[in-house]
Amino acid sequence: MQTTTKQESQYARSLIEASLDPLITISTKGKIMDMNQATLNITGIIREQLTGTDFFDYFTEPEKARDVYKEVFAKGFVIDYPLTLRHKEGKLTEVLFNGSIYKGDKGNVLGVVIVARDVTEKNRIAAELLEAKVFAELATEIAEEARNKAESSTLIAEAAVKSKQQFLSNMSHEIRTPMNAIIGFTKVVLKTDLNDKQKEYLNAIKTSGDALIVLINDILDLAKVDAGKMTFAHVPFKLASSISAMLHLFETKIQEKNLTLVKIFDETIPEVLAGDPVRLHQIILNLVGNAVKFTSEGKITINIRMVKNDAEYVSIEFAISDTGIGIPENKLEHIFDDFQQATSETSRLYGGTGLGLAIVKQLVEAQGGTITVKSKLREGSTFSFVMNFLKTNARTNVETDITIESQNPINNIRILVVEDIALNQLLMRTLLEEFGFNMDIACNGKIAIEKLKANDYDIVLMDLQMPEMNGFETTEYIRNKMNSIIPIIALTADVTTVDVEKCRAVGMNDYISKPIDDKLLYSKLIKHLNHKDSEKKINLQQKNALQQAKCIDLKQLTQRTKSNPALMSEMIVLYQEQTPPLISTMKRSFFEKDWDSLSSAVHKIIPSFSIMGINEAYEHLAKKIQDFSNKRIQTEELGGMIVQLENICQQACNELEEELNTFKRNT
Partner 1 sequence: MENKTKIFLVDDDKFFLKSLEIDFLQHADFAIETFATGELCINHLSSCPDVIILDYHLDGFDKSAMNGIETLDKIKAAYPDIPVIMLSSQDKIDVAVSCMHHKAFDYVVKSETAFMRLQKIITTIFHYNKMEKQLNWYMQRM
Q: Which residues bind partner 1 (CB under 8 A)?
A: 556-557, 560-562, 567, 570-571, 574-575, 577-579, 581-582, 585, 597, 600-601, 603-604, 606-608, 610-611, 626
Q: Which residue number, 465 or 569, has a Cβ lying nearer to partner 1?
A: 569
Nearest distance from residue 545's CB to partner 1, in Å? 29
Nearest distance from residue 562's CB to partner 1, in Å? 6
Give the burial class of 151: count Cβ atoms within 10 A of its Cβ; 0-12 exposed, 13-18 middle, 19 or more buried. exposed
d(CA 239, CA 388): 13
Q: How many CB atoms lie within 10 A of CB 194?
A: 13
Pairing of strands 260-265, 235-238: unpaired
Nearest distance from residue 651's CB to partner 1, in Å? 17
205: left (phi over 0), alpha (psi -120 to 50) or beta: alpha
Nearest distance from residue 666's CB to partner 1, in Å? 20
C-alpha distances (whole Å) from 430 to each of 181, 438, 464, 474, 519 are 11, 11, 20, 24, 14
d(CA 153, CA 432): 54
d(CA 275, CA 261): 26
Nearest distance from residue 633's CB to partner 1, in Å? 17
To which H or E segment does residue 409 belong? Answer: none
Give the max Cα distance, the chain: 156
Beta bridge partners of 414: 438
Q: Which residue number, 162 or 631, has a Cβ lying nearer to partner 1?
A: 631
Nearest distance from residue 454's CB to partner 1, in Å? 22
Nearest distance from residue 551's CB to partner 1, in Å? 17
Are 275 and 387 a contacting pair, CB within 8 Å? yes
Nearest distance from residue 476's CB to partner 1, in Å? 26
Q: Report the candidate in 526, 492, 520 with the shortest Cα–Cα distance to residue 508.
A: 492
d(CA 72, CA 23): 15
Q: Which residue number, 284 or 582, has a Cβ lying nearer to partner 1?
A: 582
d(CA 527, CA 530): 5
Nearest distance from residue 445's CB to partner 1, in Å? 23
d(CA 206, CA 458): 32
DSSP tag of 54: B
Phi, psi of 200 (to 5 degrees): -60, -45
